[in-house]
Structure 1
Amino acid sequence: MQVSDDYVRDVIHAVNEKGLDALDPKWNGGRPPAISLEVREHICLIAKTVPAEWGITGHSTWSLRTLAEHLITRGVVAAISREHLRRILRNGGVTWQTTTTWKSSTDPHFIAKMQRVLDLYDHPPADGRVICLDEFGPLNLMPRKGKRWRPAGSPARLRATYNRYNGVMHMIAALDLTTGKLYYRIRTRKRWREYLSFLKTLACAGPARSCM
C-alpha cells in the first residue's frame, strides 16, 4: 500500500481502541464551495452575452480575463481566477465556439410567400409538377481538405488552389420534386439569357410539353 511506518502504527492504535470500525473511511464533504450554484448560473448567463450589451467597448467577445474583471466590478463575485472561471463555464455547458452567420429577408411579405412555397411542396398540383430552380457559381477548382492518420504534429499538405487559365464556370440547375430528376446546365456566363434559355428547356421537358 506504500504507506509509512507511522501510518501503520496509527492504524494499529485505532483498531485497538475502536475495533474494526476504525478501518472504515471517514469521508467528509470538504470545504463548501465559495461560489453558490445560483451565482454559477448567473455567470454562465453573462458569458453568453457580448460585452457591448453591458456598455463595454473595445471588446467584441468575452475573454476569461475580461469576463472575470466584469464579474468583480459588478459585484457578482468578490474574486475569481481565470481557471476557476473556465471550470464554471465548462460545468455549465458554455464552451468557446465559432460564431455562425445568418441572413433574413427584408421583404415584408416573406412569411406569406414562404408558407405558400411550403404548402406547394406538401400539396403539389395534380396536373403539374413542382420544380426547384437555383443558380450556383462561379465554380472554382479547389481542393477539399480530408482526414487521414498522420504522425502528431506533421499533417499532410495539400495545395490551396489551382491556376484558372480557362476562367470559371456557372451552373443553373432544377430539381423535379415529383420524379427526383435533376436538370442542369453549365455555362461560362450567368445572365438573364442563360437563365431564360434554361427555363425554356424545363418547359419542353415538362409533362405538358409547353415549349416556348
Structure 2
Amino acid sequence: MCFDEFGPLAVQPFPGQGWFKKAHPDRLPATYHRNHGVRHLLAALDLKDDKLYGHTSKHKKHQDILRFFKVLRRRYHRTERLYIVLDNFSPHKHGKVVLWAADNNVELVFTATNASWMNRIECHFGPLRKFVLAGSDYKDHKELAQAIQAHIRWRNRHKRDERILREQKKIKVA
C-alpha cells in the first residue's frame, strides 16, 4: 500500500474547466474567506488491486493517521502482512503509530527524504485535482468530501479510463 496526505483543502472557488455545461459560467469571486477552515485527504493506494481509499480529516495528526491505518488494516486478513509506503512526515513516525504497526503485522516503509516521487500514490492526486477541484465552488466541506468520495468510487470502477491515465502520466513517480 502507498499512503500520503493531500491538502490542505479549503472551501473556495477553484479556477479551471469541469464536467459542467459550457454555456455562461459564473465568474469567480474576487475574494473568499476561510470561514470553514481546511481539511486534509488521507489516501492509500492498494498496489495489488489498484484500488484507491480515502478519508477527509480536519487534521493530519498521528491520531488521524492511526485511525485511517486501522480502517485499512481491517480490510485484510490479520495474517496478511501489510507494507505501507509513506514519506518521512513526523506524525508517520510517532511512537504510537510505529508501535501499532509492529503489533498489527504492518511494516512502515519510509521513502527517502525529499523523494515523494517514489510513492506511487502521488500520481493519483493530479486526476483528483483536475476532476474534483478544477472549476469547482463547493458550499462546505461536506459537499467537497462527497465529491472526493464520488471521484474515488468512480476511479476504482474505471481504473483504465484514458482521462485518468492521461492525468496520472503528468506526474512523474518511480
TM-score, length-scaled by structure 1: 0.31
Higher relative contact order (CA 8 A, sep 6+): 2
Q: Work out which of the two has the higher radius of gyration on C-alpha atoms and give 1 or 2.
A: 1
TM-score, length-scaled by structure 2: 0.37
